[in-house]
């Protein structure tokens, strides 16, 4: 390419042609950067990075510097990908339609097809997946490999840990260990690590840190050091487990999202022809949000595109996803990895500090909170920065001990040379007013009220604008302001939501928490937990408090539980008391005991009796399929009705629907799909903070949005509130230690020192940007052997301080992201007391730094308050406190019903209407009194009948074979079942059949199967007889049948994806062909010749039609000829194999799916 290309159109000319503002000076430098050199654009929040990236492509295409299809744009989310693709398409097409840019129209038109040629855009993972799909066979990865979802990942790992052959150096549960193994495995993938090398590194660390005992020391390492050494051993065990998980995935053709980047990077590194082919495809590469990329992603793209015109666009101040695999190394080493010499670095970096979003007052606090990051990048030491922070946030006070924090310099990584400039307001917004409001409330309730008051005042202004807009033509209407509350933790959400709704403000909870935190879903989970394990008292307490009984009655219930556990009050025994026992056998009304102070009330007895009945219903169906069990639990708790009156805009209703779907998908995922593993999976989701994804919905621009700060990244609002900027005091009333998170003073709760599911920083490829022990030993001269046996080890504590400093820098970036979401006004503050803590809290360090008045500094350094000063106790409270709006609705409905009932006593006609038990009786009563009522009721019935008659339902996205046959044979019945699905009635035979199928699957896989402990003895004997028959039957080694697979799904793409779940695939010793086996536990009768009797022939014929469908789907999905596959029923009780071929001709069974399901073609 020429060094001085012929530029026909300037950015200003192009901007005028496509109807956009001319780019500013910094943006123009990014847009016009050389096309054949790497470039890093550091784009601050609101700097217009997406618009600038799109403009660069238009500029290059318009000037003939690159062909449109030789441009590759990559970003993280599908939404961002769609936005970038839309901007590129729209801008290029607008330009092509302009007669002054006729060359562009020619370039965009495919000469062969006449279609439009456009740039290629994709997500990072989708791009990597294409590489793996196309070339993965070189690593033994099949193009047909299936992508694991979170549930399936968990189930596979849960099964591996459950059946782990060796001992583990941990007392944690199977669920916790499985979660840890998955977490450490994700880091292996994100960091492009080799398991064997990590394992060797852990052993080296253990050997180094447990050297021989120095003279005069104790026989064993001190407790802290021993705990540290044990954690290294446990990490090795977790890696062993993860290695088995990887082997399972490979054997069964599974991949997960992290594998896509991992294997893509491996392929381009090992095979020059692959990276050569990819390299030749593109000349211009745009890498969006590069601060959030991992080591693996940096390696992948640098290996392919080194020396090419790759542009990384990002902001180091917005790097908030380190917990998801992102690494600071990506931006720091981007230019080096892409072939730029150190002395040339500055020529390849362009800042974009001008923001088009925030007013100046908002920018001041955003810039202030990340100032330490800038100081570190400028070369100041961590110790200097830490001292400056302490000077800013603490007032010297002789009454309080000011714990000096050890300087983190010894272990700290060299500061990154990649620095974002201070944000600047664009000229257009410099004269517009902006404001930052500060508060510090006495408790979380008052904080919620302050936030709600803030929005109530502003929403009145918004309503005035909306009213004014109605009187103006669209082109003169003013844009309506928007608002959001951004939370650090989901627990802050409910109080604020209620306070906003009490003021009649529209609220939409879009990203505050996961699905399992929705109140209705949480109730379902609680009911499932206590039904699966009577010892889950905390979950039962949730349900009991939801009944609205008094604390005195709850206290009595506990006393009753203790009495049931030890009725003789024997002081020598202390049995465990279960609250469930007390619920199952409630005390009589009026029961009391010494010290209780009250008697068990009649209302508590009535309400708890209802709960007892509800839970008994759930327990009765505990072995139902998961999806059905969840649905029954919702009905049993009457949550389907309860959510109708909740003031959440139908959120809980959608959440319940989503939860039922998740349960069904979990059950269909395969191994370990039982209630206990499902509940463990939900518990892990809670521990990890994800809580499962909420149902997707388009945000309502007219509502105040509630979401987490992480979820808000990339979004903006006119007004933003950020509560919860407070910290707890350290021990003994001391002040929080300035450089560390949440008053901890030492290290982040997610550092590798405290979390065995994390790989030590010393073993990571990005250790140059992380605090490491190795660096600390080199700088400090600590003798680790001496420290290991010291009574007062300093090295670990000092290292924790360094980790704490690093954690605080990450918190600063998160605060920066939160602050820069506000265009005009920002409300920030905290509270002295929260619902979950008993100790007094003080304004956070960040709040002190950015408050110009100094008030927050005074509050942070004030004398600890007496409890009465902050938390005066009311003499009476309503407990538990229901949401006020919901309570109001319930009260109104109750009052209306009371009025109707009272009136009905004197109005016999109304009384008879209210007591009518069916529509026909209602019609009869109405006909006697009112023609118009008769007509209205009849019209309603006719309309409903017409809807039922003509109603159509959409085909499901996927369908099992049985449902598909129902559609084919009885379309109307299928439609009705779709509109009104009814659960099947359980039976003992069905239960035994289900358990038998589960046992066979586990037996064939070599796994241990646990029979439910509460299974009826008669059903247990039936199951045991079937197990013995099966073992001595077709699978006996003497029979020669070879096991291939079990409990697997195959799908054939038709109008709805046709899914066949097959019991087993075995190789027929007579023919050598794979044979689909369907286990049957039915009882049969036989005629005198030994053949199946006529009364059973119809049932067997139906089974044959079913297994014929399995055979067709199996062959279709694998591309096999039908003759290559056999199928048979195996009746376990009689050791009877019924081959499909023997019945096929007699039943005239279809030989093609199209013949069987013409409705689905």
Q: List, for residues 426-436, the tens digit of each pLDDT value.
A: 888 777 778 99
Model pLDDT, residue 998:
79
Greater model confidence, 519 or 821 = 821
Chain centre distance of CA 807 = 23
Q: Which tokens belong to 360?
A: 């100046």
116-131 mean pLDDT: 91
145-167 mean pLDDT: 86
Q: Which tokens belong to 843?
A: 């304004």
Model pLDDT, residue 511:
61
The CATH number of the domain covering residues in 11-132+262-352: 3.40.50.300
User: Nearest 5°: CA angle at 399, between 398 and 404?
Assistant: 65
pLDDT in tens, 678-687: 898 888 877 7
Q: Which tokens belong to 50?
A: 């997406």
pLDDT category, 802, cuts 50, 70, 90? Answer: confident
Model pLDDT, residue 1016:
73
Rounded alpha-carbon distances, angstroms, from residue 497 to 379, 409, 508, 639: 44, 43, 9, 20
Q: Is 48 annotated as a binding residue?
A: yes
Give the residue from 1047, 1050, 1081, 1049 showing the smallest Cα distance to 1064.
Answer: 1047
- Most confident of the ranges 354-363, 513-522, 1111-1120: 354-363
Q: Helices marked H in 1093-1152 — which ranges? A: 1094-1118, 1141-1147
Model pLDDT, residue 828:
96
Chain centre distance of CA 704 = 22
860-880 mean pLDDT: 54
Q: Is 50 annotated as a binding residue?
A: yes
348-373 mean pLDDT: 93
- Sequence-separated (6 or more) residues with CB below 8 Å from residue 459: 483, 505, 704
Give the span between the Cα atoms of 609 and 611, in whole angstroms.
5
Model pLDDT, residue 719:
97
The count of other CB atoms within 10 Å of the CB of residue 1010 is 11
Of the listed ranges 165-174, 367-376, 818-827, the least confidently predicted one is 165-174
Model pLDDT, residue 578:
81
Give the span between the Cα atoms of 222 and 789, in whole angstroms.
5
Spell out a b/e string for 1021-1060, using b for 16 or more CB atoms within 10 Å of the CB, else e. Answer: ebbeebbebbeebbbeeeeebeeeebbbbbebebebebbb
Model pLDDT, residue 402:
40
Model pLDDT, residue 867:
47
Model pLDDT, residue 1126:
93
Three-state secondary-structure class, residue 388: helix
The 8-class DSSP code of residue 492 comes to G
pLDDT in tens, 942-996: 544 444 444 444 444 344 545 555 545 555 554 544 444 444 444 455 678 878 8
> Which CATH superfamily hosts domain 515-687?
PCRA; domain 4 (1.10.486.10)
pLDDT(1140) > 80: yes
pLDDT(879) > 60: no
pLDDT in tens, 735-787: 444 333 333 334 444 578 888 889 999 999 998 888 888 887 777 666 665 66
The count of other CB atoms within 10 Å of the CB of residue 170 is 16
Give the span between the Cα atoms of 540 and 717, in whole angstroms.
41
1040-1054 mean pLDDT: 67
Q: Is 43 annotated as a binding residue?
A: yes
Bridge partner list, 285: 72, 310
The count of other CB atoms within 10 Å of the CB of residue 1121 is 7
CB 315 within 8 A of CB 373: no
Give the span between the Cα atoms of 233 and 598, in whole angstroms.
55
Three-state secondary-structure class, residue 395: coil
- Sequence-separated (6 or more) residues with CB below 8 Å from residue 83: 50
pLDDT(846) > 50: yes
1113-1118 mean pLDDT: 76
Model pLDDT, residue 4:
57
Average pLDDT, the chain: 80
pLDDT category, 853, cuts 50, 70, 90? Answer: confident
Give the span between the Cα atoms of 1047 and 996, in whole angstroms.
12
pLDDT(1086) > 60: yes
Give the span between the Cα atoms of 293 and 332, in whole angstroms.
11
Chain centre distance of CA 275 = 34
114-137 mean pLDDT: 90
Rounded alpha-carbon distances, angstroms, from residue 385 to 112, 365, 445, 726, 879: 63, 18, 35, 21, 48
pLDDT category, 151, cuts 50, 70, 90? Answer: confident
- Most confident of the ranges 453-467, 631-645, 1073-1087: 453-467
Give the span between the Cα atoms of 817 and 822, in whole angstroms.
10
The 8-class DSSP code of residue 1062 comes to E
Model pLDDT, residue 595:
81
Give the span between the Cα atoms of 1118 and 756, in whole angstroms.
42
Model pLDDT, residue 689:
65
Give the span between the Cα atoms of 973 and 951, in whole angstroms.
12
Give the span between the Cα atoms of 350 and 340, in whole angstroms.
14
CB 816 within 8 A of CB 317: yes
- Sequence-separated (6 or more) residues with CB below 8 Å from residue 385: 372, 375, 376
pLDDT category, 696, cuts 50, 70, 90? Answer: low
CATH 3.30.930.10 describes domain 382-510+701-868: no
1-10 mean pLDDT: 71
Bridge partner list, 312: 40, 287
Of the listed ranges 163-177, 521-535, 581-595, 816-830, the least confidently predicted one is 163-177
Give the span between the Cα atoms of 577 and 562, in whole angstroms.
5
pLDDT(331) > 50: yes
Q: Is 47 annotated as a binding residue?
A: yes
610-634 mean pLDDT: 90
Of the listed ranges 47-61, 628-642, 907-921, the least confidently predicted one is 907-921
Model pLDDT, residue 818:
96
Give the span between the Cα atoms of 677 and 682, in whole angstroms.
9
Three-state secondary-structure class, residue 61: helix
The count of other CB atoms within 10 Å of the CB of residue 655 is 25
Is-same-fold flag (11-132+262-352; 515-687)?
no
The count of other CB atoms within 10 Å of the CB of residue 943 is 10
Model pLDDT, residue 830:
92
Q: Is 46 annotated as a binding residue?
A: yes
pLDDT category, 109, cuts 50, 70, 90? Answer: confident
403-420 mean pLDDT: 65
pLDDT(95) > 80: yes
687-710 mean pLDDT: 78
- Torsion 386-392-397-400 (CA) sign: negative
CB 143 within 8 A of CB 135: no
Domain ranges within the chain, ordered by starting residue: 11-132+262-352, 149-252, 382-510+701-868, 515-687, 884-950, 1032-1160
- Sequence-separated (6 or more) residues with CB below 8 Å from residue 265: 128, 192, 296, 297, 299, 300, 303
Q: Is 44 annotated as a binding residue?
A: yes
In this structure, what is the dihedral angle of CA atoms 874, 875, 879, 884, given to the nearest 10 degrees?
-50
Tokens 């430098």, residue located:
29
**% pLDDT > 70, the chain:** 76
Give the span between the Cα atoms of 1060 and 959, in whole angstroms.
9
Tokens 């039908």, residue located:
1122
Cis-peptide into 880, omega within 30 deg:
yes
């Amino acid at each position: 390419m020429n060094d001085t290309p012929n530029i026909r159109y300037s950015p200003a000319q192009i901007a005028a042609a496509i109807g956009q503002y001319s780019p500013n000076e910094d943006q123009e430098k990014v847009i016009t950067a050389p096309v054949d050199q790497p470039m890093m654009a550091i784009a601050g929040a609101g700097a217009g990075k997406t618009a600038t990236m799109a403009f660069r492509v238009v500029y290059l295409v318009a000037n003939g510097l690159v062909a449109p299809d030789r441009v590759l744009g990559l970003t993280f989310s599908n939404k961002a990908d769609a936005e970038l693709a839309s901007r590129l398409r729209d801008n290029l097409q607008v330009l092509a339609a302009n007669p002054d840019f006729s060359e562009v129209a020619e370039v965009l038109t495919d000469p062969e097809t006449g279609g439009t040629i456009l740039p290629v855009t994709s997500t990072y993972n989708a791009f990597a997946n294409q590489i793996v799909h196309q070339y993965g066979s070189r690593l033994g990865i099949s193009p047909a490999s299936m992508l694991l979802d979170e549930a399936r990942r968990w189930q596979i790992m849960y099964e591996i840990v459950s059946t782990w052959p060796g001992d583990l150096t941990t007392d944690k549960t199977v669920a916790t260990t499985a979660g840890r193994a998955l977490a450490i495995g994700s880091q292996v993938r994100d960091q492009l690590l080799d398991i064997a090398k990590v394992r060797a590194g852990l052993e080296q660390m253990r050997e180094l840190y447990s050297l021989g005992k120095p003279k005069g020391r104790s026989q064993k390492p001190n407790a802290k050091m021993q705990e540290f050494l044990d954690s290294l051993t446990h990490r090795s065990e977790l890696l062993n487990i993860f290695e088995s998980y990887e082997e399972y995935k490979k054997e069964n053709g599974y991949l997960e999202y992290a594998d896509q980047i991992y294997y893509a990077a491996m392929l381009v590194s090992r095979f020059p022809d692959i990276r050569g082919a990819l390299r030749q495809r593109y000349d211009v590469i745009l890498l969006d949000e590069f601060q959030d990329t991992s080591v693996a992603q940096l390696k992948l793209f640098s290996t392919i595109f080194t020396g090419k015109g790759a542009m990384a666009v990002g902001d180091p101040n917005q790097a908030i996803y380190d917990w998801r695999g992102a690494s600071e190394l990506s931006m720091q080493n981007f230019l080096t990895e892409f072939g730029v010499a150190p002395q040339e670095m500055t020529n390849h970096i362009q800042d974009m500090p001008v923001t088009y979003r925030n007013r100046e007052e908002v920018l001041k606090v955003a810039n202030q909170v990340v100032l330490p990051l800038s100081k570190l990048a400028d070369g100041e030491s961590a110790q200097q920065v830490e001292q400056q922070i302490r000077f800013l946030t603490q007032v010297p006070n002789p009454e309080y001990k000011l714990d000096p924090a050890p300087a983190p310099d010894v272990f700290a990584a060299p500061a990154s040379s990649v620095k974002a400039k201070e944000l600047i307001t664009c000229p257009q917004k410099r004269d517009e007013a902006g404001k930052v409001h500060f508060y510090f409330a006495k408790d979380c309730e008052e904080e919620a009220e302050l936030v709600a008051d803030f929005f109530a005042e502003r929403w009145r202004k918004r309503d005035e604008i909306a009213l004014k807009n109605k009187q103006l033509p669209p082109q003169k209407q003013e844009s309506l302001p928007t608002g959001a509350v951004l939370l650090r933790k989901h627990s802050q959400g409910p109080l604020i939501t209620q306070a906003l709704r009490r003021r009649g403000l529209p609220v939409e909870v879009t990203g505050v928490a996961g699905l399992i935190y929705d109140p209705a879903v949480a109730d379902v989970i609680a009911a499932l937990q206590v039904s699966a394990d009577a010892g889950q008292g905390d979950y039962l307490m949730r349900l009991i408090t939801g009944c609205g009984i008094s604390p005195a009655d709850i206290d009595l219930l506990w006393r009753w539980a203790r009495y049931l556990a030890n009725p003789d009050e024997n002081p020598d025994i202390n049995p465990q008391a279960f609250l469930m026992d007390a619920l199952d056998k409630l005390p009589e009304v009026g029961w009391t005991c010494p010290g209780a102070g009250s008697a068990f009330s009649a209302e508590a007895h009535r309400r708890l009796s209802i709960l007892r009945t509800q839970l008994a219903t759930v327990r009765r169906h505990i072995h139902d399929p998961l999806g059905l069990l969840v649905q029954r639990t919702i009905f049993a708790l009457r949550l389907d009705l309860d959510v109708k009156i909740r003031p959440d805009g139908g959120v809980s209703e959608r959440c319940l629907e989503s939860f039922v779907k998740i349960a069904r998908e979990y059950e269909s995922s395969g191994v370990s799909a039982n209630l206990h593993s499902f509940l463990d999976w939900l518990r892990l989701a809670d521990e990890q903070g994800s809580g499962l994804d909420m149902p997707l919905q388009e945000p309502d621009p007219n509502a105040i949005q509630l979401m987490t700060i992480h979820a808000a990244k990339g979004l903006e609002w006119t007004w933003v509130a950020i509560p919860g900027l407070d910290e707890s005091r350290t021990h003994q009333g001391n002040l929080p230690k300035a450089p560390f998170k949440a008053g901890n003073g030492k290290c982040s709760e997610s550092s590798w020192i405290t979390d065995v599911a994390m790989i030590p920083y010393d073993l990571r490829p990005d250790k140059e940007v992380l605090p490491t022990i190795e660096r600390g030993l080199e700088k400090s001269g600590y003798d680790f052997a001496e420290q290991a046996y010291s009574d007062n080890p300093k090295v670990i504590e000092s290292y924790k301080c360094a980790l704490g400093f690093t954690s605080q820098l990450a918190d600063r970036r998160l605060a920066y992201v939160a602050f820069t979401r506000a265009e005009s006004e920002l409300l920030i503050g905290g509270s002295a007391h929260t619902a979950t803590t008993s100790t007094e809290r003080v304004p956070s360090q960040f709040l002190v730094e950015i408050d110009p008045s100094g008030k927050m500094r005074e509050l942070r350094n004030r004398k600890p308050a007496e409890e009465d000063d902050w938390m005066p106790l009311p003499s009476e409270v309503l407990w538990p406190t229901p949401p006020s709006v919901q309570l109001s609705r319930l009260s109104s409905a109750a009052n209306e019903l009371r009025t109707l009932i009272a009136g009905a006593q004197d109005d016999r006609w109304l009384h008879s209407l209210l007591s009518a038990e069916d529509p026909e009786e209602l019609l009869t009563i109405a006909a006697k009194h009112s023609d118009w009522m008769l007509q209205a009721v009849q019209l309603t019935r006719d309309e409903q009948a017409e809807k039922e008659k003509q109603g159509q339902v959409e085909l499901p996205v996927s369908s099992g074979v049985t449902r598909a046959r129902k559609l084919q044979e009885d379309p109307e019945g299928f439609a009705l079942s779709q509109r009104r699905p009814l659960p099947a009635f359980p039976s003992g035979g069905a239960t035994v059949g289900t358990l038998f199928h589960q046992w066979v699957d586990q037996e064939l896989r070599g796994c241990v199967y646990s029979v439910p402990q509460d299974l009826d003895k008669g059903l247990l004997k039936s199951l045991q007889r079937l197990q013995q028959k099966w073992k001595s039957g077709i699978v006996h080694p003497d029979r020669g049948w070879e096991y291939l697979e079990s409990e697997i799904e195959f799908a054939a793409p038709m109008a709805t994806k046709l899914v066949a779940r097959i019991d087993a695939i075995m190789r027929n010793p007579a023919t050598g062909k794979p044979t689909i086996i369907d286990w049957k536990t039915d009882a049969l009768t036989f005629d005198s010749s030994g053949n199946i009797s006529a009364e059973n022939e119809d049932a067997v014929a139906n089974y044959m039609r079913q297994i014929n469908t399995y055979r067709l789907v199996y062959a279709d999905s694998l591309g096999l000829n039908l003759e290559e596959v056999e199928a048979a029923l195996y009746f376990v009780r009689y050791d009877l194999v019924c081959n499909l071929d023997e019945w096929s001709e007699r039943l005239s069974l279809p030989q093609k799916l199209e013949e069987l399901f013409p409705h689905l073609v």
